[in-house]
Structure 1
Amino acid sequence: MIENDTASIPPAPTPSIAVAQSSDERLWAMIGHLSAFSAFVTGIGCIVGPLIVWLVKKDTLPFAADQAKEALNYNITVAIAFVALVLFSIITLGIGLVIAYPVGVLLWLAWIVFTVIAAIKANEGVAYRYPFTLRLVK
């Protein structure tokens, strides 16, 4: 006789279900990502834009705040990488530009592509996580 003791069997994990966000929350999440493109106007705008969205919306729109914080972390990571490439070029007296320039171009293209992908996902209500990102702002 087989006993059916369900108390000893742990429950199956529940699949993660995307929580439906309002259109306003999805819009602000998308703005949090796209505000990084203000770097084309001011160099530091890639950090300031997501920071402003995160600070303004962190208490009222949790999804938008999460995505703005993710964009902030990503843009800080990319800025650190660009500064490292510039320092590498300076330390090697310009010889390092043979490596730094192509890597910088690839990094810049990846920054644009991942930011656009993140904005599209945020507008769909999906929480996007950038690859290779230092989570400095918690």
Structure 2
Amino acid sequence: METIENHALSQEERLWAAGVHLGALLAAFFTSWMVGIAGAVVAICVWFVVRDRHPFAAEHAKECFNFNLSMFLYACLAVIVGLVLGVGAVIATIATLGLAALVAAPVVLVIVVALAAIAVLWVVFGIIAAMKAYEGQSYRYPMTMRFLK
């Protein structure tokens, strides 16, 4: 069995740690990525359940919470930027009698690609974190703001 900070990890603790990542990922997926705050809610709920009994799983739950909240905020930011640029592009298209549509189409494409990239990263990093947790290893998600430490 792996150890972390002189603490022997049980199968139960590794399952909790891996489960929080997969549970948060599924919650985000089933509530749609734009309402992905559900992943952060799952992670914080698991943290409350395991924080006193399983320190390894509690660390993974905090990391999962931070990541899911960060990804949710990134998605919100992409939507806001898309709306601002989209409204601006529509106004510019009307004002230029359609010429600005040449700029508007690529802007929409960039926003759609950004949202798709966020969703793919959410899935890939969530699966990697679950695998690392099950192996008894710590994992730090990239691109994560640290709300809980």
The two structures have a TM-score, normalised by structure 1, of: 0.82
Which segments of structure 1 move beyond 3 Å, counting only runs of 4 or more? none
Q: Distance in 2 between matches of 1:66 and 1:79?
A: 20
- Report the counterpart of residue 27 of structure 2 in structure 1: 38
- Report the counterpart of residue 129 of structure 1 in structure 2: 140
Q: Distance in 1 between matches of 2:63 and 2:110?
A: 29
- 1:134 corresponds to which letter in structure 2? M
Of Structure 1 and Structure 2, the greater helix share is in 2
What displacement does 1:66 show?
Answer: 0.3
Task: For structure 2, list consecutive stretches of 5 or more residues without a partner in the other structure.
Answer: 88-103
- Report the counterpart of residue 76 of structure 1 in structure 2: 69
- Report the counterpart of residue 90 of structure 1 in structure 2: 83
What aligned pairs does 1:7-86 form with structure 2 within 5 A after superposition? 18-19=3-4, 20-36=8-24, 37-42=26-31, 43=35, 44-86=37-79
Q: How many residues align?
A: 122
What's the % identity of the aligned pairs?
A: 38
- 1:64 corresponds to which letter in structure 2? A
Task: For structure 1, list consecutive stretches of 5 or more residues without a partner in the other structure.
Answer: 1-16
What displacement does 1:97 show?
Answer: 2.3
- 1:40 corresponds to which letter in structure 2? F
Q: Which has the larger radius of gyration?
A: 1
